[in-house]
Amino acid sequence: MGVTIKDIAAKAGVSTCTVSRVLNGRGKKVSADTKLRVLRAAEQLDYRPNIIARSLVQRRTWQIGLVIPSLQQPVMSQIIEGVHVAAQELGYSIVSCATCADKKREAEYLDDLHTRGVDGLVWLPPNLANLKVAQSLAASVPIIQGFRKIAGLDAPYVILDNTKGGFKATMHLIKLGHRKIAHLRAVGEEGEERYQGYKQALKQAQLPIEQELIIPTGFGWAFGYKSALRMHSRGLLSGPDPVTACFACGDMTAWGAIQAFRSLGLRVPDDMAVVGFDGLPISDEMEIPLTTIAQPGIEIGRLIVRYLHQIIEGEGEGVNSLTLDPKLIVRSSCGADKAYLEDKLTRLSIKGGQEE
Amino acid sequence: MGVTIKDIAAKAGVSTCTVSRVLNGRGKKVSADTKLRVLRAAEQLDYRPNIIARSLVQRRTWQIGLVIPSLQQPVMSQIIEGVHVAAQELGYSIVSCATCADKKREAEYLDDLHTRGVDGLVWLPPNLANLKVAQSLAASVPIIQGFRKIAGLDAPYVILDNTKGGFKATMHLIKLGHRKIAHLRAVGEEGEERYQGYKQALKQAQLPIEQELIIPTGFGWAFGYKSALRMHSRGLLSGPDPVTACFACGDMTAWGAIQAFRSLGLRVPDDMAVVGFDGLPISDEMEIPLTTIAQPGIEIGRLIVRYLHQIIEGEGEGVNSLTLDPKLIVRSSCGADKAYLEDKLTRLSIKGGQEE
DNA sequence: TTGAAAGCGCTAACAA
DNA sequence: TTGTTAGCGCTTTCAA
């Protein structure tokens, strides 16, 4: 059906071997004349190399497996985008697998990826269920973990320093003069680390760590909303020494909390300063632009693929696990940047729809 | 390196051909005895088939290409998830390409997918730039378009009936007794169709189509917020005959509008009923659960892959383009379901964090 | 029911 | 600089 190097060889009057050399041999000696003839023949015939055949003999597919637990998470989407971009830059295709946090599906995917002979594997926060599968896989395919790491899996990772992020967020509030700072604390690894950062900041500022200011919650708007209401019902928001600031485990949680605070009559940031965590694009769109800790998702994705490429190329010694430093994005929800808020509100009020 | 059927053949004392027959020949005649020996040998050797080699001879990769314009869009993520799920069910891997709405990248991806010999291609709302590339590709690879369709590309599609969605949304408001219904209208194909639905509903109810009630806007929180403020500044929200309902082009736009309405002192849904469009998961999480038109993203994704599979299998005659009927999800932002809202608020107030 | 042999399209030693 | 040849691992006629 398709045009093969044989056809080109015939048309150009050379051997298939020469064709191969011209078409992909880097720096191999071919006379300028034959080269030209081959190239012209290839173009005239509209030749496309058969990657399958090449993979078979080279034992390299130029495909990278990507294991994703959930597509519905914004930060994850950014990492995935970064992975795609870097992969394309380096010439890899992405074979993507959406496990939907299902252990069985994950195991099947891992097996399939192995069988397919991908050159490497990007594994985003895994279900932890298939450690054995993962270990045996890691023995034959380079793996990089991203976003989170699996305890017990000996593969490099690129993750965010959640602890430092929690520290920065809390320290920002402390520097603004807040002394009574609540934390909306999520369960799970990330939540725990962010909480540790919160504690470290308080400690460094020699502020007491008060258990009643630590509100158990989760990721999502509703969690934040509920938590804020609970703070209210516990009397934390009023009285002589009320909570004046709040570090939420995530942006959506922060949003829920902010709306609850406002429905309770508190002004944000004047009565209550709020810091989020994630740096979702939407956090800058809302009425009160959210001060937050940015997760450089796209950058994480790119780094993962670059590392993976290095390992595939046999330069694995240069690759170490990486824990990225998060950035604090100061906007308006803490009152640190009043101008930002005013500007935002002006933009919102003055401008109309798309036609302007 | 790896175990091949040769090894199995040797161990089982048969020919490679027999091994192949046992391992994948469906219903081919092999004696139970040899079959058992082969199977056992394969297991002992921990054999994994080399898919590359198989693809080479079968001219089938069991891979489907997936072209995605943006990963950051919630509805898109749902479609992508559906695509993945159905693909895994049918035995395909997904080679995914994130074009980031970049025409050059899209062209490169399309070319790569072609060269890689994918069995089929799922093309989500494309950049329209590469119609020629697409057409030549469509000549050699089955393609299904999803989410939107490209004018001029002769490939089946699975999309949502945006017009009908707009109709249903508007009709819902009409049935609730609203007579002065604004529309937050987005530019672009989808926006246009939803707007058509809005007009059709008004027409059918013999209500006038008033240009001043049609507010140009876009998709996103800030657009909705601005548009609502603009309605206010134009005096549409007060006076003897104020607007009492609003159909927004998208959920996020609806959210922005709702927040603006409330900051203007209007109650939702009592003073202002709002319908969105998209059915984002988050729309049920917020303070006032949003009545909206659901885009069955996951279902769209599944259908796309099933259709594609049919075509690949040569059953293409049974495949027609499909325009899905959207569903109205009645929640609380229109006042149609007060109980829902009350229940929601109760849940939000009573329950706390994750520990309960 | 089984095996021998050819070949999918390409690359890479080794010769020429 | 170029060609010959032998595979990569698998499937698949065709013959036994």
Model pLDDT, residue A73 = 87
Nearest-CA neighbor of A37 among A22, A20, A24?
A22
Distance CA B240, CA B345 (A): 32
Choose the weakest-confidence range: A65-74, A316-325, B330-339.
B330-339
- Residue B151: which residues within 8 A CB-CB, separation 6 or more? none
Look at residue B351 and tell me whether its pLDDT is greater than 50: no
Model pLDDT, residue B345 = 62
Does B30 or A343 have the greater pLDDT score? B30
A190 pLDDT tier (thresholds 50, 70, 90): very high
Q: At A127, list the tokens.
A: 């279900």
Choose the weakest-confidence range: A90-94, A300-304, A337-341.
A337-341
Contacts of A264 in chain B (CB under 8 A): none
Which of B53, B94, B354 lies closest to A217 in CB terms? B354
Model pLDDT, residue A355 = 34
Q: At B232, list the tokens.
A: 């206010």
Axis crossing angle, helix A221-233 with helix B338-350, rounded to the nearest 10: 60
Q: At A76, list the tokens.
A: 């994850």
**8 Å CB contact of B287 and A259:** yes
Model pLDDT, residue B348 = 62
Q: Report the residue of A47, A109, A226, A236 to disrupt the B interface, i.e. the one with the largest count of B CBs within 10 Å.
A: A226
* Phi, psi of B248, deg, nearest 5: -95, 145
Choose the weakest-confidence range: A145-159, A244-258, B178-192.
A145-159
Model pLDDT, residue A132 = 83
B2 pLDDT tier (thresholds 50, 70, 90): confident
Q: How far, in Å, is the CA of B335 from the C1' of nucleotide D15?
A: 79
Element (H, E) at A139: helix A131-140
Residues 106-135 (A) with a CB less than 8 A from some CB of B: 108-109, 112, 114-117
B82 pLDDT tier (thresholds 50, 70, 90): very high
Model pLDDT, residue B354 = 36
- A55 sits within 7 Å of strand C by its CB: no
- CA quadruple B282, B284, B290, B296: dihedral sign: positive
A77 touches chain B (CB under 8 A): yes
- A316 sits within 7 Å of strand C by its CB: no
Look at residue B120 and tell me whether its pLDDT is greater than 90: yes
Element (H, E) at A175: helix A162-175
Look at residue B101 and tell me whether its pLDDT is greater than 80: yes
Q: Average of pLDDT values for B211-239?
A: 95
Share of chain B above pLDDT 70, in %: 92
A218 touches chain B (CB under 8 A): yes
Mean residue pLDDT of chain A comes to 90
A215 touches chain B (CB under 8 A): yes
Nearest-CA neighbor of B327 among B298, B291, B281?
B291
Q: Is A294 helix (H, G, I), strand (E, B) or coil?
A: strand
> Residue B275 half-sphere exposure, CB side, CA atoms within 13 Å?
33
A78 pLDDT tier (thresholds 50, 70, 90): very high
CA distances from B271 to A270, B190, B328 (A): 29, 28, 21
Model pLDDT, residue B55 = 95
**8 Å CB contact of A115 and B48:** yes
Look at residue A198 and tell me whether its pLDDT is greater than 80: yes
**8 Å CB contact of A285 and B222:** yes
Q: Average of pLDDT values for B93-107?
A: 93
Model pLDDT, residue B44 = 92
Q: Is A73 helix (H, G, I), strand (E, B) or coil?
A: coil
Which position has the token pair 């999800």? B329
Q: Which residue of A has its CA nearest to B259?
A: A287
**8 Å CB contact of A221 and B285:** yes
**8 Å CB contact of A222 and B285:** yes
pLDDT digit string, tens, across residues B3-23:
999 999 999 999 999 999 998
Which of B97, B116, B252 lies closest to A51 in CB terms? B116
**8 Å CB contact of B221 and A282:** yes
Q: At B47, list the tokens.
A: 């054999």
* Phi, psi of A251, deg, nearest 5: -60, -45
Distance CA B244, CA B271 (A): 6
Model pLDDT, residue B150 = 84
In this complex, the nucleotide whose C1' atom is nearest to the CA atom of residue B47 is D9
Share of chain A above pLDDT 90, in %: 73
Q: Average of pLDDT values for A130-148?
A: 88
Model pLDDT, residue A317 = 81
Look at residue A338 and tell me whether its pLDDT is greater than 80: no
Look at residue A277 and tell me whether its pLDDT is greater than 90: yes
Model pLDDT, residue A130 = 75
- A49 sits within 7 Å of strand C by its CB: yes
Between vectors from CA B149 to CA B89 and to CA B138, what angle results, nearest 5°? 70
Q: How far, in Å, is the CA of B41 from the C1' of nucleotide C1?
A: 19
Kindly give the residue spans of alpha helices, DSSP state H, lying in chain B: 5-12, 16-24, 32-44, 51-58, 74-90, 103-116, 131-140, 162-175, 189-204, 221-233, 251-263, 297-312, 338-350
Model pLDDT, residue B335 = 87
Q: How far, in Å, is the CA of B15 from the C1' of nucleotide C5?
A: 12
Q: Average of pLDDT values for A22-40?
A: 83
Model pLDDT, residue A27 = 63
B202 pLDDT tier (thresholds 50, 70, 90): very high
A182 touches chain B (CB under 8 A): no
Count Cβ–Cβ pairs < 8 Å, chain A vs chain B.
Answer: 181
A72 pLDDT tier (thresholds 50, 70, 90): confident
Model pLDDT, residue B355 = 34
A351 pLDDT tier (thresholds 50, 70, 90): very low
Q: How far, in Å, is the CA of B7 from the C1' of nucleotide C1?
A: 21
Model pLDDT, residue B318 = 78
- A2 sits within 7 Å of strand C by its CB: yes
- A88 sits within 7 Å of strand C by its CB: no
- Distance to chain B for A192, nearest Cα, Å: 14
Look at residue B86 and tell me whether its pLDDT is greater than 90: yes
Q: Which nucleotides of strand D come closer than 7 angstroms to any CB of the protein?
A: 1-5, 7-13
Look at residue B130 and tell me whether its pLDDT is greater than 80: no
Q: At B39, list the tokens.
A: 């199977």
What is the 8-class DSSP label of residue B176? T
Q: Report the residue of A67, A75, A84 to disrupt the B interface, i.e. the one with the largest count of B CBs within 10 Å.
A: A84
A230 touches chain B (CB under 8 A): yes
Which of B53, B96, B351 lies closest to A94 in CB terms? B96
pLDDT digit string, tens, across residues B284-315:
988 899 999 999 999 999 999 999 999 999 88
C1' of nucleotide C13: residue with nearest CA:
A17
Does B280 or B152 have the greater pLDDT score? B280
pLDDT digit string, tens, across residues B321-337:
999 999 999 999 998 76
